[in-house]
Structure 1
Amino acid sequence: MIDSRPLAERMRPTRLSDYVSQSHLVGEAGALRLQIEKGITPSLIFWGPPGTGKTTLAYIIAKECQRAFFSLSAISSGIKEVREIIEKSKRERGLFTAHNPIIFIDEIHRFNKAQQDSLLEAVERGWVTLIGATTENPSFEVIPALLSRCQVYILKAFSKEDLLTLLHRAIQEDIYLKNRKIQLKETEALLRLSAGDGRKLLNTFELVVNTFSQGEEIILTNEKVLQVVQQHTVLYDKTGEQHYDIISAFIKSIRGSDPNGAVYWLARMIEGGEEVKFIARRMLILASEDIGNANPMALVVANNTFQAVTTVGYPEARIILSQCAIYLASSPKSNASYKAINTAQQLVKQKGDLPVPLHLRNAPTQLMKDLSYGKDYQYAHDFTGNFVFQDFLPDDLQGVRLYEPCDNPKENALRMYLKGLWGERYGY
């Protein structure tokens, strides 16, 4: 019988020993492997990019731990389907915790609060073990009550070595590919286009292979891969595999101050059914990362946009998103705050926990006061202009400048203001 499933599905591993990547979780000393081997299956949430094996790992856990397995997609399922599975679990498995079924919910971030609430009692009472998969930060998308009952594991994009392992395994083991003459002459384009997504890698590879005739030698080159992919761009749009490429183009258009490009890519996401909060959240981050103090109102606008589209929803939310995207793209740009915190964090890693200067320390007790905590601190509001020259960094970092204003009207004004306060201390 002909197996019409895509290559990625045909190659889906069913045993932990065949699972590729995520060694920090399922390697010999991986926390998740140790739990599986002991038969322990707590409720879990897998957070990671598409094609990193979240669904596969859930299937393997169920099989290794000999659990009944129910799978739902948050896109097509609702409270009714969730409750049906929970009731079935209660009837068939009772309260025998070791035999509780696993309910796997793909894209759990798309469940609203009421849908997530419907899972709470079942998870809390142990009627089911929940495994959720999400590409979004669960801290934002999963309600706190449910999140507190789950362990969150982060899955990483596949490394180059992982992707090559998948390719070679497919050539050697797939029922169709192992009988064909395949030469991997060049793999750079295939690896780059997959962007760490194992599923995308295998399905793109199969797409390229299928352009060759049966019996013809298959020589994989970068040119051939790019040619085939360009001819089948629409297929990738339909399956949503350009999700991260399009959001990247959207963000880069705003960063590049092109409102036209920003609105076009916004339209692509809207027409593709992208979640409204996903788009709004990315603009909220960009307002600080790429605009910052060059236009502080950008963060206010982006935050108000997030609140507004969450309340309004589609289709009207598209207008609000468009307004915000155009505003952000048309704003002056600065990544000074982004660079400042990156530099500061790197400094912390290099220097360690430098002591807080005594005059900056809190002194709630008499003992601390006797130890000179808070001594000689000068309260800025007691001085002219609400400023007094004193040290605010550890002794080893005096004069280190972390914030470097960018060249735009507002930050140039900030530079002059800081120079007026600090003179040559920070070199502004």
Structure 2
Amino acid sequence: MPRRTPSPAESTDLLSVDTDHLRPLAERMRPRTLDEMVGQRRLLASGSALRKGIESGHVHSMILWGPPGCGKTTLALLLAQYANAEFQAISAVLCGLPQVREVLAEAAQRFTSGRRTVLFVDEVHRFNKVQQDAFLPHIERGTIIFVGATTENPSFELNSALLSRCRVHVMEAVSADDIAISLQRALLEERGLGDRELQISDNLVHLVASAADGDVRRGLTFLEIAADLAGEGGTITESTLEQVLADRTRRFDKGGEKFYDQVSALHKCVRSSNPDAALYWLTRMFDGGADPSYLARRLTRMAVEDIGLADPRALQMAIDAWETFDRLGSPEGELALAQLTIYLATTAKSNAAYAAFNTARDDVREYGTQEVPLHIRNAPTRLMKQLGYGKGYQYDHDVEGGIALGQTGFPDAMGERIYYQPVGRGLEIKLKEKLDALRSAREAARRDDE
């Protein structure tokens, strides 16, 4: 059965227990009041709806959506404390439907005796639809105050029935300045590292806070490791932190919403001709462990969609950069993709071919299966010729100027259409001049025929 997590009020009693020093620093320093929480100024500002609800004890079921270490578990604990409710936590990673039903049955029994339960479900997006549906009647009856925590976009990961019964609160990554406040508190308070009499400069505290990358728990873990290296009464130096922070990584999601947000940022910075920003996002994804082959494919798509015929060289450069990466691998091949990114962002842009293709596809769907006009059908047999296949076709190379202006290439039911409209940038300037002249000549030839 899932273990019940102590409430903040109970956790203060644990400070006197001999085993308290075995708990991680991040757990010992977990905020015990709303005022002790760092970050989330918008969500928990004085007078905000959520803060008023928590302080009055009138809390509602909710989804807390935010990155790791931003305070989701802590906020759920404080909800239970202020509401004088039982706090129970389960993890969607570890629990199945039988355990969920057992916890809900306990909460129902507790409810009949007049005590509410704050049920905290960590990683709630890992539950499937059936598991999520199990909470619905208990939320409706008020048996539980449901608090789901997720790092994924609830719109994509949670079913609509659960979302309709919960309010979604967006929690943000904690700033380095706010994490520094938490670290300073840990250095001073007895429940933290206050009894060790450690020395560390403010600059180095901010270095740890920055390395935490928005995650308070991570920052406190870094500080605890540094404190162990420095020893009782020691000084945490720059060389100490070099050891602690040497292998840190930035937050990155290789398959979720955050990943696609960064891909979107890369694409849009290329489109807006901002090579510096585009290179930043490419490097961020390299740093986070994104598959370079996937990035090569996306960059090739940009060469086709956003550069197009304004600079046809871009597509060949994209294929060459992709092939270079396949031959060299990482990290050497990443330079080829970086070079490609800079070129794509710098060169002339046109989505005219992309737009033309989409418009032609729309016409195919709208007009259905149209017959090929007789004059441009193939006529390899005598019967086909007798039926008029190829009749009236003008061989372009035999006419003056090399283009037969009077014949159409579209089905009769459609008439002439214009899909491709070159822009006045790059090579398409020349293409536009040529096509404008040809289209005017064809229109004049059609009028003469009439």
TM tier, shorter chain?
Answer: 0.5 to 0.7
Deviations 1:72-104 (A, max 9, x none): 0111111111111111122221396xx431110
Q: Deviation of residue 125 (structure 1)?
A: 2.5
Q: How many residues align?
A: 302
1:9 equivalent to 2:9? Answer no
Please give the per-residue CA displacement for 1:183-206, whole angstroms capped at 9, x wherever unaligned: 225334312210111000011011
Hey, what's the Cα distance between the residues in 2 that align with 1:215 and 1:83? 50
- Residue deviations 1:272-324, cap 9 Å, x none? xxxxxxxxxxx79x977x6654356xxxxxxxxxxxxxxxxxxxxxxxxxxxx
Determine if contact 2:85/2:116 at 8 Å carries over to the other structure.
yes
Counterpart selection for 2:198 from 181, 187, 195: 181
What is the aligned partner in structure 2 of residue 87 from structure 1? Answer: 105
TM (norm. structure 1) is 0.59
Return the offset for 1:14.
Answer: 1.8
- 1:2-401 mapped onto 2 (5 Å cutoff): 2=19, 3-94=21-112, 99-175=115-191, 177-179=193-195, 180-187=197-204, 188-216=206-234, 218-221=235-238, 223-230=239-246, 233=247, 244=252, 265=289, 292-295=301-304, 385=418
Measured in 2, the distance between the counterparts of 1:112 and 1:28 equals 37
Aligned counterparts of 2:94 and 2:76: Cα–Cα separation in 1: 19
- 1:294 alignment partner AA: A
Which blocks of at least 5 consecutive residues in structure 2 are unaligned? Answer: 1-17, 268-277, 306-333, 351-413, 438-450
Paired with 1:200 and 1:18, the residues of 2 have a C-alpha distance of 17
Q: What secondary structure, in the 3-state scheme, does the structure 2 residue paired with 1:62 have?
A: helix
Q: Give CA deviations for 1:206-263 in whole Å, capped at 9, x if unaligned.
A: 11111013233x1343x43122233xx4xx7xxxx865387899979999899xx979
CA-to-aligned-CA distance 1:29-55 (integer Å, 9 cap, x gap): 222111112321111111111101000
The structure having more radius of gyration, on CA atoms, is: 2
State how far apart, in whole Å, the 1-side matches of 2:429 and 2:87 are.
60
Residue equivalent to 1:314: none
The 3-state SS of whatever aligns with 1:20 is coil
Distance in 2 (CA, whole Å) between partners of 1:207 and 1:404 is 60
What is the root-mean-square deviation of aligned Cα atoms in Å? 4.5
When structure 1 is superposed on structure 2, of 182-191 and 157-166 the one drifting more is 182-191
* C-alpha separation in 2, matches of 1:184 and 1:422: 70
Does the 8 A contact of 1:189 with 1:226 survive in 2? Answer: no
Distance 2:154 2:429 in 1: 38
Q: 1:185–1:220: 8 Å Cα contact kept in structure 2?
A: no
Report if aligned partners of 1:43, 1:129 keep a CA contact under 8 Å in 2.
yes
For structure 1, list consecutive stretches of 5 or more residues without a partner in the other structure. Answer: 268-282, 297-325, 341-380, 390-402, 406-411, 424-428
Q: d(CA) in 2 for partners of 1:225 and 1:102?
A: 39
CA drift at 1:404 = 11
Aligned residue for 1:208, secondary structure, equals helix
CA gap 1:264/1:35 in 2 versus in 1, 3 angstroms: closer
